[in-house]
Amino acid sequence: MTLGQFAMAVGASPRWVLNALARLDLPRRYGESLARRLALARFVSEAVQMPLPEAMRLAERMLREADPLGTWRLEGKGGIALVVDLPRFFTTYGANLALALNRYGEKPRGRRPRRRGSAVERARAYGIDLTLFDSALRRTPEERLRLLDENMQVMRRLRSAAK
């Protein structure tokens, strides 16, 4: 994972991740296991205003000891208890991780290139095959989507065969 993907999986900004790793004295190795621990530590830290290093220790303990399909409970003093709904945590974390793996894309740095000429000229200069427009625009939207659907089915069959 890149830093951006890792941060998305944790549910935080890249800056927060870098600060957290420095504070926890952890190397910048952006793996899934660390993302999971850090995401849980962040949840706990924010929910009960606990310092991050302490929340991280608690998160590691929770992930080691708890039933992932149940709740984890820590009794404190004076009848106060911390209860964590782990399936709910894993659902949110998993959704963030899937988002990071499927939809994350780096943003280009620097200025955008100046737009010269018409959109068609720019596309041609970029190397896009514009003859495809012609065949697509001759079809009705329904025909285009039927063709897409057929392609999706083929891709699906290929993916299943490759498994």
Partner 1 sequence: MSLGGVLRGLTGAGVRFVVIGGVAGVAHGWSRITNDVDICYDPKPENRERLAAVLAGWHGYLRGIEPGLPFTIDARTLRDVPVLTLVTDEGDLDVMHRVQGVGEYAAVEAGSETVVIEGVPAPTLTLDALIASKRATGRRKDRQDLIELEALREERRRRGM
From 3, 24, 82, 144, residue interacting with partner 1 (rule: CB under 8 A): 144
Q: How far is the CB of 24 from partner 1 (least distance, A)?
A: 24
Report the C-alpha gap between 59 and 45 in whole angstroms: 10
71 token code pair: 């709740």
In whole angstroms, what separates CA 108 from the centre of its chain? 19
Closest alpha carbon to 97 in 20, 163, 15, 1: 1
Residue 79 Ramachandran class (φ > 0 left, ψ -120 to 50 alpha, else beta): left
Please report whether residue 151 would count as binding partner 1 according to CB under 8 A.
yes
Q: How far is the CB of 76 from partner 1 (least distance, A)?
A: 25
Please report whether residue 133 would count as binding partner 1 according to CB under 8 A.
yes
Where on the chain is the footprint of partner 1 (CB under 8 A)?
68-69, 86-88, 90-92, 94-99, 101-103, 105-108, 118-120, 122-124, 126, 128, 130, 132-133, 135-137, 141-142, 144-146, 148-149, 151-153, 155-156
